[in-house]
Amino acid sequence: MHKDIATPIRTKEILKKYGFSFKKSLGQNFLIDPNILRNITEYAGLTEKTAAIEIGPGIGALTEHLARSAGKVLAFEIDQRLLPILADTLSPYSNVTIVNEDILKADVGEMVEKELTGYEDIMVVANLPYYVTTPIILKLLTENLPIKGICVMLQKEVGDRIAAKPGTKEYGSLSIAIQYYTEAETVMTVPKTVFMPQPNVDSAVIRLIKRDKPAAEVHDEEFFFQVTRASFAQRRKTILNNLTSQLPDGKQKKEGILASLEKADVDPGRRGETLSIQEFAKLSNELLPLFK
């Protein structure tokens, strides 16, 4: 068994050896607690029949745990300066492929086909850079990739919003967008002290398991998400006010919007945060002919 990368001493040694300095713009915070990495790997449910996709491997702290548990690891790293470090720290593991690409621009489907065919399941497991967490998760879910789920470390506040239930102040269009595709739960919270450098916020690990089919039947997904975003534009406003002010020509179509709310059994005086995904689906299906 090789010495864990994710200890304060070993992390400092590696950074010193390569003269590596953290780039704020890339949101680099490296984990220095092996127990947390073991837990993340366990929550992801990896076996040698599973492949893992990692985003932002850093110096390989989580990658090494994934390599020990999964059949294969495909990691995307945007920072070229880390490639020689990863080649060194991960040299004991022959089942890791590092791709020097920005995950948001990468053709992940093509890479999966090339590198990960023949595995029963694919899980995305990562310590995500905080500033691009949401776009990364939404990209992974909307591109229809053959993944079973996503188990990632992110800012606790974003994790709370993703897993939020209707009627709570965290619940919003992000909760709906992600829960439409997945079953979401926060599996652990993580203090800021286990990172180098320490971020300003606490973190959480969230696990998203993809549903066989979306949580509700919608006639037009793009419009459904447009309606949910509009409904939360100003949280204190009623759903009727938000829809009339946010949807195109909403003010002229107020009567139609009212009629659609009625058909969908939604009281126009309710606030967006009280509606379930199913209610939003029904509502967007009723509104669709009015706007398309």
Q: Which residues of 211-240 are buried (b: 16+ CB within 10 A; e: fewer)?
A: eeebbbebeeeebbbbbbbbbbeeeebbbb
User: Binding site annotation covers 102?
Assistant: yes
Report the amino acid identity of residue 131: Y
Q: Is residue 35 marked as binding? A: no
Beta strands in 62-160 (DSSP E): 72-76, 96-99, 121-127, 149-155
**121 annotated as ligand-binding:** no
Ligand-binding site membership of 149 (annotated): no
Q: Is 31 annotated as a binding residue?
A: yes
Calpha distance 208→127 (Å, rounded): 14
Residue 203's SS3 state is strand
- Residue 90's SS3 state is coil
The Cα 210–Cα 40 span in angstroms is 18
Q: Angle, nearest 10°, between helix axes 221-231 and 239-246?
A: 120
Tokens 């595995």 locate to 119
Tell me if 29 is assigned to a ligand binding site.
Answer: yes
- Binding residue positions for S-adenosyl-L-methionine: 29, 31, 56, 77, 102, 127
- Binding residue positions: 29, 31, 56, 77, 102, 127
